[in-house]
Chain A
Amino acid sequence: MASRRSHRGLDALNFFVADVQTGFGPFVAVYLTTQAWTEVQIGFALSLGTLTAMISQVPAGALVDALRHKRRAAFVALLAIALSALLLALFPYPLPVLLAEVLHGFASCVLTPCIAALSLALVGRVALGERLGRNARFAALGGAIAAGVMGLVGTYVAPAAVFWLTALLAVPSLLALAAIRPEDLTARTGASGAPRQEGGGLRRLLRSRGILVFAACCFLFTLSNAAMLPLAAAAVTRVAGEEANLIIAACLVLPQLVVAGISPWVGRMAERHGRRAVLVLGFLALPLRGLLLALVNQQVNQPWALVLVQALDGLSAATLGVMLPLMAADLTRGSNRFNLCLGVFGLAVGLGGTLSTTLAGLVTGWMGSAVAFALLGVIGLGCSLLAWLALPETRPSAPPPAGALKAAL
C-alpha cells in the first residue's frame, strides 16, 4: 500500500513536469525570431528536435525498461531538460540551440515513460486506470497555469525569461520526485525477472495485434488532432481584433481544464466498463470537433465559438492521455516491456503529429480551412472506427472493488 506522500509526490511531479514542458512548444520559434534567426535556421533547429524525439522514443523506452532505478532516470532526465532551457536562454547561437533541442528531445522520451513506470510501480495493475487519470489531471492543471503565466511573461517581460522560468521550475519537479518513497515502488506487476534483449522484445511487441492496432489508433488520433488547434488559432488571429490574444489563451487553457476535470473519471470508466467503450466514445469527439470547426470557421463574427469547440479537444485529449499508458500496461502484462511499448506508441503519436500540420497546411492552401477541418474530422472518425472494429478488450477479468484506489490513498 503506497503512502499518501508518494501519491502526492507523483501528483506534484506531473504538475511541474507539465509546467517545464510548456515553454518548449511553438514559443521556441518566437524566441529564435527575436534573436534574428532566419526562417530556414529556425526550421532546421525545430526539425532536429522533432526528429531526435521520434528516433529516441523506442530506444529510450527500452532504456527505461532496462534500468532498475526509474527515479534516478527521471532525475537525470529532468536535469537535462533544465539544462536545455538554460542553453536556449543563455546561448541563442546555432550550436548550443541544436544541442538543446537534441538534449530536450531525448530527455523527454526518457521522462514520460519513467513517470508512467513509477505510477505502475506505485499502485500495481489493479488501480492503474485511476492513478493515470490523476496523472493526467495534474499534468493538465500544470499545463493550463503554465500556458497562461508563460504567455504573459513572454509578452510583457522578455522571450528569454520564459526559458529561465522553465529552468527554475525544474527545482520543484526534483523535489516532488524526491518525495516519492522508494519503499512504495514495490507493487507486483507480474513482470518476469531480467529484461530480454531489445531486438527480440521489439519484434515480439510488434507481433501483438492489440499493440499494432492501438499504435495505428494513436497515429490516426494525432494526425487528426494536432493541426486543429493551430488552424483554429490562425483563424482567430485573422478575424478577431484586439481580443485575439485572449481568445487564443482561452483556446489553450479550456481544454486543459476539461482534462483536469474528467481524467480520473475516464480512468474509472475504463476500469468499470472496459477500455474499448471509453476509447471509441472518446475518439468520437474528434470528428465532432472537426465538423464544428468547419462550420464555425465560416462565422467570422463569432471567434468565441471556437473556444467552446475546444472543450471537445479536452475530451479527446483526456481519453488518449489516460488510455495510452493504460493500454500499454494491459498489453505488456507479464513481461518487462511496458516502457518499450510506451515508446512505440509515442513514436506513432510523433509521426501523426508531424504529418498532421503538413497535411493541414497543404489542404488549407489548396482548398481552404473548412475542407481541412472536415478532412481532419474524417481521419478522427477513421480512428474511432478502427478502435471499434479491431481493438481487443484488455481489461483484466475481475474489475477492482469500487474504492480500491481511495483506500490506497
Chain B
Amino acid sequence: MLRLLCLLLALAPAALAQAPQTPEAASPVPSPVPSLAAEADPTPPPAGREILPRAGLFRVLGQDVKNAAGIVVAQVVNLLVDEAGQPRAAVLDYGGFLGVGRRRIAVAWPALTFSGEGIRLGLTRDQLKNFPEYREGEDIILALPPSARPVAGAAD
C-alpha cells in the first residue's frame, strides 16, 4: 500500500510538470528561437524587454466572473483566439451550487468587461437560459450581448 502511494507520488510531478501554473500577464517579448541551421545564420540578438505596470492588467484563467450585481457566477476556463491572435471568446464554467449543476458555455469576447472590480459578464442568467453548452471539437456557439452583431471572420 505504502509503495503504491510512493510510486503514485513520484509519477505525479512528472505528469503535471509540463502544465503552466499561472499565465502571467507577460510583456510581449519574443523568446529567442534556437536556429538549427546554425552555420549559415548569425545568432539572433537576446530578447528585448518591456516593463508593464501591474495595475492595468488582468489574469484571466481561473478568475471569477461576476454579473452586473457583483455576484460571482462563473470562472474563466479557457480563451479562444483566432489566427490573427485576437481573442474571440471565453469559455466559462457557469452556474451551479457547491459544484453541482455547473455548465460550460462560450461567450463572445465583447460580453466581458475588465475593470478594477474584476471581470464582469454583460449577460444575465435569464438571458443565458437554454443556451447550448460548449463542446470540444464541435463548432462553437457564442453567447452575444443582444446589441452586438456577430463579427465577420474566417471562423464564421
Contact = CB atoms under 8 A, between A and B. Distances in A.
Interface of A: 22, 25-30, 33-41, 44, 48, 55-56, 59, 93-95, 98-99, 102, 147, 150-151, 154-156, 229-230, 233-234, 236-242, 244-245, 248-249, 251-252, 300
Contacts of A147: 98
Contact of A44 (B15, B72, B102, B103): B15
B61 interface: yes
B125 A244 contact: yes
B23 A36 contact: yes
B86 interface: no
A99 B9 contact: yes
Contact of B103 (A55, A102, A237): A237
Interface string B1-32: 10011001100110110010111000000000
A248 B12 contact: no
A48 B131 CA distance: 33
Nearest to B62: A36
Nearest to B77: A33
Contact of B101 (A28, A35, A95, A234): A234
B125 A95 contact: no
A94 B13 contact: yes
Contact of A244 (B22, B61, B64, B101): B101
B101 A236 contact: yes
Contacts of A35: 62
B95 A237 contact: yes
Contacts of A102: 5, 8-9
Interface string B86-118: 000000011111111111000000000000000
A56 B5 CA distance: 11
A241 B125 contact: yes
B41 interface: no
B97 A248 contact: yes
A25 B99 contact: yes
**Among A56, A59, A236, which residue has the most Cβ atoms of chain B within 10 A?**
A236
Given A39-B77, A95-B13, A241-B129, A33 B96 contact: no
A38 B19 contact: yes
A30 B96 contact: yes
A34 to B, nearest CB: 5
Nearest to A48: B8
B101 A242 contact: no
Contacts of B93: 30, 33
A59 B63 CA distance: 40
B98 A242 contact: no
B101 A230 contact: yes
A36 B16 CA distance: 13
B129 A240 contact: yes
Contacts of A229: 100
A327 to B, nearest CB: 27
30 contacts: A25-B99, A29-B99, A33-B77, A34-B64, A36-B23, A41-B16, A44-B12, A48-B12, A55-B4, A94-B12, A98-B9, A98-B12, A102-B8, A102-B9, A150-B98, A230-B100, A230-B101, A233-B97, A234-B101, A234-B103, A237-B94, A237-B96, A238-B129, A240-B125, A241-B126, A242-B124, A245-B96, A248-B96, A248-B101, A252-B100
Contacts of A245: 95-97
A237 B12 CA distance: 34
Contacts of A98: 8-9, 12
B6 to A, nearest CB: 11
A272 B125 CA distance: 50
B130 interface: yes
B37 interface: no
Contacts of B16: 41, 44, 94
A36 B21 contact: yes
A95 B9 contact: yes
